Structure formats: C-alpha cells, structure tokens
C-alpha cells in the first residue's frame, strides 16, 4: 500500500513515541524492555493502515504485536488511524523499517510468528527477489524467529500465492495449512481482516497458507 507523500510523516512518528519505536535497533535482544514483559512477539511485515495488527492486539492482550511498514506516509496514516480508535491497546508497537534488514532489529528467537498480508506481488520475473516470500526474505525470517516459528500469509494474487507455495516448499519448511478461498472456509469465522481485504474480498477469493520452519532445518 502506498499513499501520497505526507511531508509530516516523520513528525507524526516522533510525536507518538509511546507506541512508535523510533530506533528499533537499540532494542535488539531486549524487546521485553519495550513491552515490559516476556510475552510472545508476533510481527506483521507491511502493515498498511494497521487494521489487522491493531485488532489482533485488541483481541489477544497476552501477545505483543509489532507492525512494520517500509513507507513513512503509510505508517503515518496507520498512526493517525490507531490514535482515532476509542479502545487503546498497550501490547502494540509500530516501526518504520525495511523487512530485509530485520536481523538488525531482532535477535534469533525474539519473534514467535510473522504475518504477511497482501504483499506486493512484484509480477515481473526480474523482480522475484523482492517478493516477501522469496528465499532472500525467508533467510531473514529464519534469523529472527524461534525454532519452528511460523509464517501466516494471505493474498488475493493467485500468481504470488503459487510462487509462495513453491518457494516455501524449496526451503526447509512445512506447509501446515492452505486455503484457496478463505472467506468461504470454516476459518472465516475467526479471520481478522485487513482494510484491503475488506474492500476487495468480493472481487475474488482470498488465499491463505501457514508454514513452519523445520527445527534445525
């Protein structure tokens, strides 16, 4: 998701340091100090306007959530939207960061789960390495996840979904769940939707998979 450039994006981040982590590298191997507890940490890469990560934090207060967004203006929009919510949550932090550099932010075993929702499909073959389920990114995720940590991936792009299945199968991972029509599956009752998902789900099926890294893989 990309928005028109917001010249105040960085100001908005700095004005909300109570839940926006400005220098996340300084907390590597010490995220418990950010949240004040040792609860599991789930991260969403490419959080968009934050609907998904906020709702997860609201429903699961026993888990700590970190929303990560590469584009400053998108993150600023998410900050404003979360600030407008009536119900505040204490187990949510946001940060502006590039996913390929997440090993600079998290130590091995600091992250329990990763959410990838409606990532950019980068349809041209020459851009395949930019896809968030390419082996280059899977290496990064393995470096920060606990042993046998998992990834939950949702997309409305059939080509990206098929690519992701192949990519994960070529990695030391096991795919534990696949849905080719999430909103017409039993899981739809507990599915937490992103803003994008709510807007476009009627245009076609939503695909989902859950994959887990093999221990010592």
pLDDT in tens, 101-127: 999 999 999 999 999 999 999 999 999
Domain residue ranges of the chain, discontinuous segments joined by +:
1-107, 108-217
- Residue 38 bears catalytic tag: no
The CATH number of domain 1-107, selected from 3.90.1150.10, 3.40.50.1370, 3.40.50.150, 3.40.50.720 = 3.40.50.150
Q: What is the pLDDT of residues 3-41, one digit of tens each?
A: 678 889 999 999 999 999 999 999 999 999 999 999 999
Distance CA 91, CA 150 (A): 20
**Terminal CA-to-CA distance of the chain, rounded, Å?**
33
Residue 84: CB atoms within 10 A of its CB come to 7
The pLDDT tens digits for 161-189 are 999 999 999 999 999 999 999 999 999 99
Give the separation between CA 191 and CA 210, rounded to whole angstroms.
Answer: 13
Quick one: angle between helices 72-83 and 51-59, nearest 10?
40
10 Å Cβ neighbour count for 67? 29
Give the span between the Cα atoms of 123 and 151, in whole angstroms. Answer: 21
Is-same-fold flag (1-107; 108-217)? yes
Give, in order, the Cα–Cα distances in Å from 91 to each of 67, 128, 198.
Answer: 11, 34, 24
| Position 94 pLDDT exceeds 70 | yes
Is 87 exposed, middle or buried (CB count within 10 Å of its CB: 0-12, 13-18, 19+)?
exposed
pTM of this structure: 0.95
Distance CA 184, CA 179 (A): 9
More confident call, 1 vs 23: 23
Find the angle CA(192)-CA(193)-CA(199) to the nearest 5 degrees: 165
**Which CATH code is given to the segment(s) 108-217?**
3.40.50.150
What is the band of 217 on the pLDDT scale with cuts at 50, 70, 90? low
Nearest of 140, 177, 134 to residue 43 by alpha carbon: 140
Burial 40-53 (b: 16+ CB within 10 A, else e): bbbbbbbbbbbbbb
Running DSSP on this structure, what letter comes out for residue 191? P
Instruction: Out of 98, 109, 120, 181, pick the active-site residue.
Output: 120
């Amino acid at each position: 998701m990309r928005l028109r450039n917001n010249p105040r994006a960085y100001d908005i981040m700095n004005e909300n340091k109570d839940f926006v982590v400005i220098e996340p590298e300084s907390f590597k191997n010490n995220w418990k100090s950010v949240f004040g507890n040792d609860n599991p940490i789930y991260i969403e890469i490419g959080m968009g306007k934050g609907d998904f990560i906020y709702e997860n934090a609201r429903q699961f207060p026993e888990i700590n959530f970190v929303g990560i967004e590469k584009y400053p203006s998108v993150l600023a929009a998410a900050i404003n939207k979360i600030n407008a919510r009536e119900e505040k949550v204490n187990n949510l932090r946001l940060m502006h960061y590039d996913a390929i550099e997440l090993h600079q932010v998290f130590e091995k075993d600091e992250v329990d789960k990763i959410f990838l929702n409606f990532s950019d499909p980068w349809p041209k073959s020459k851009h395949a390495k930019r896809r968030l389920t390419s082996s280059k990114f899977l290496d990064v995720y393995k470096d920060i996840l606990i042993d046998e940590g998992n990834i939950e991936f949702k997309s409305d792009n059939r080509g990206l979904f098929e690519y992701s299945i192949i990519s994960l199968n070529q990695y030391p991972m096991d795919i534990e769940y696949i849905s080719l029509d999430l909103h017409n599956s039993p899981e739809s009752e507990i599915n937490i939707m992103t803003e994008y998902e709510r807007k476009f789900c009627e245009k076609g099926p939503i695909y989902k998979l859950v994959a887990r890294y093999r221990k010592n893989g």
